[in-house]
């Protein structure tokens, strides 16, 4: 089931989408609902709701689609660094679908699901759960049987890899920026530290809080911020190169992240998506028996793998390791000091590097990446 918010979809081929006609890109918001959705853990949600956005128009053949799965606590606007005139994704030609993860407070989440699954009783949703419901959205609701590409940043990159393993013939290629096919043990340790910052707040009460655990969420924001950018970014005070923070002191920057890291975020939602993130491993896909290498070797399509050289969430070393097992990989690290956000065009140089190389990859042009010692 789909509910359309905003303007009606234009008839295919009749004219350019509104966003292109007016010179800016704005998505249309939709919802897709699945009744009695069985999660990978075996829990059945009476209603699973996914919010998604669309840019451009779907052509008559339904073959101009690119999927952009969202990252941590993001919503449907999360890929605008890649969309529009002069960027890699042209909405006068492509139909873009931006899906929102379970747990972001808009799609089905601990905060918006009634009992018996409200709050801490909401089931852990895996990356595969998210991929499964979006596959149904595309095939059942939009009648799309194949996409040109799946492009993902961070947890979106996790989803892109899962798509390539779960549905190896569904796309022509994938792009993964600042994200890996498995959350390796050090990443789990980091995420558990951030979860512990929330749960240590006495008002959290096991997730059945009467008021938001403000101090726990603030501690979460500070812990998260310490991993967000590179050490060099902080040393060189690169926040001063941005319009919003150019006049700020270090203390002001820290205070901003502590008190407003993800505005309005619910504590149980933050924890749920952290659990989704840390449970990711393509090797636990049915049929692979926990063998991550075997799952990576099963990927059929070309992969543009773009880790950030200074990412502390998804270290470049993990991407280099995984690349050894992906048959058609181009490993192209992003030369940036902007840490994890480099994979979403955090600086003008990052955005230029991403858009130029992703556009070339989608066009089938050869890209020279790092040498990979295949195994």
pLDDT at 4: 36
Q: Which of 201, 281, 311, 350 is catalytic?
A: 311
Long-range contact pairs involving 43-50 (C-beta distance under 8 Å, separation at least 24): 43/117, 43/123, 45/108, 45/113, 45/117, 45/123, 47/108, 48/102, 48/108, 48/133, 49/107, 49/108, 50/99, 50/100, 50/102, 50/107, 50/108, 50/133, 50/134, 50/137
CATH number of 2-184+282-362: 3.40.50.1820
User: What DSSP letter does each residue of 231-267 carry, written as one string?
Assistant: HHHHHTTGGGGSTTTTT--HHHHHHHHHHHSSTT--H
- Comparison of pLDDT for 309 and 24, the residue scoring more: 309
CA distance 125 to 161: 17
Q: How confident is the model at residue 352 (pLDDT cuts 50, 70, 90)?
A: very high
Catalytic residue among 298, 340, 347, 350: 340
Query: pLDDT category, 11, cuts 50, 70, 90?
Result: very low
Is 63 one of the catalytic residues?
A: no
The mean pLDDT value for 101-120 works out to 98
pLDDT tier at 25, thresholds 50, 70, 90: confident
Which residue did the predictor score with more confidence, 22 or 283?
283
The domain limits of the chain are: 2-184+282-362, 187-276
> Any idea which architecture 187-276 has in CATH?
Orthogonal Bundle (1.10)
Q: Do domains 2-184+282-362 and 187-276 have the same CATH topology?
A: no
Is position 311 annotated as part of the catalytic site? yes
**Active-site choice (19, 154, 178, 279):** 154
Instruction: Give the pLDDT score at 246.
Output: 92
Decide if 29 contacts 50 (C-beta within 8 A): no
Model pTM? 0.93
pLDDT of 263 reads 92
Task: Write the CB contacts of 121 (distance below 8 Å, at least 6 apart in sequence).
Answer: 110, 115
d(CA 225, CA 78): 19
Check whether 312 has a pLDDT greater than 50: yes
User: Is 340 known to be catalytic?
Assistant: yes
Per-residue DSSP letter, 113: -
């Amino acid at each position: 089931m789909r509910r359309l918010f905003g303007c009606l979809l234009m008839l295919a081929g009749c004219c350019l989408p509104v966003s292109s006609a007016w010179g800016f890109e704005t998505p249309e918001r939709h919802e897709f609902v699945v009744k009695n959705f069985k999660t990978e853990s075996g829990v059945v949600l009476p209603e699973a709701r996914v919010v998604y956005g669309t840019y451009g128009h779907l052509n008559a053949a339904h073959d101009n689609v690119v999927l952009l799965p969202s990252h941590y606590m993001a919503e449907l606007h999360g890929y605008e660094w890649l969309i529009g005139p002069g960027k890699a994704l042209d909405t006068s030609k492509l139909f873009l679908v931006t899906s929102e993860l379970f747990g972001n407070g808009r799609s089905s989440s601990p905060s918006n699901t009634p009992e018996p699954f409200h709050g801490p009783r909401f089931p852990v949703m895996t990356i595969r759960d998210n991929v499964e419901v979006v596959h149904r959205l595309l095939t059942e609701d939009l009648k799309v049987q194949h996409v040109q590409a799946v492009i993902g940043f961070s947890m979106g990159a996790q989803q892109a890899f899962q798509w390539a393993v779960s549905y190896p013939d569904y796309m022509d290629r994938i792009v993964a920026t600042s994200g890996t096919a498995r959350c390796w043990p050090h990443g789990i340790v980091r995420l558990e530290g951030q979860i512990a910052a929330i749960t240590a707040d006495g008002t959290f009460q096991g997730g059945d809080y009467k008021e938001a655990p403000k101090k726990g969420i603030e501690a979460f924001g500070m812990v998260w911020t310490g991993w967000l950018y590179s050490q060099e970014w902080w040393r060189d005070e690169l926040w001063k190169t941005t319009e919003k923070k150019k006049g700020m002191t270090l203390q002001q920057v820290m205070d901003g992240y502590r008190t407003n890291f993800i505005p309005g975020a619910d504590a149980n939602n933050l924890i749920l998506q952290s659990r989704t993130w840390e449970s990711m491993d393509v090797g636990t896909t049915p049929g692979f028996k926990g063998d991550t290498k075997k799952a990576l070797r099963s990927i059929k399509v070309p992969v543009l793998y773009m880790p950030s050289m200074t990412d502390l969430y998804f270290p470049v070393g993990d991407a280099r390791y995984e690349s050894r097992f992906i048959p058609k990989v181009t490993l192209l690290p992003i030369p940036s000091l902007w840490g994890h956000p480099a994979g979403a065009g955090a600086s003008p140089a990052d955005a230029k590097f991403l858009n130029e190389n992703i556009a070339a990859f989608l066009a089938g042009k050869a890209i020279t990446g790092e040498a990979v010692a295949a195994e």
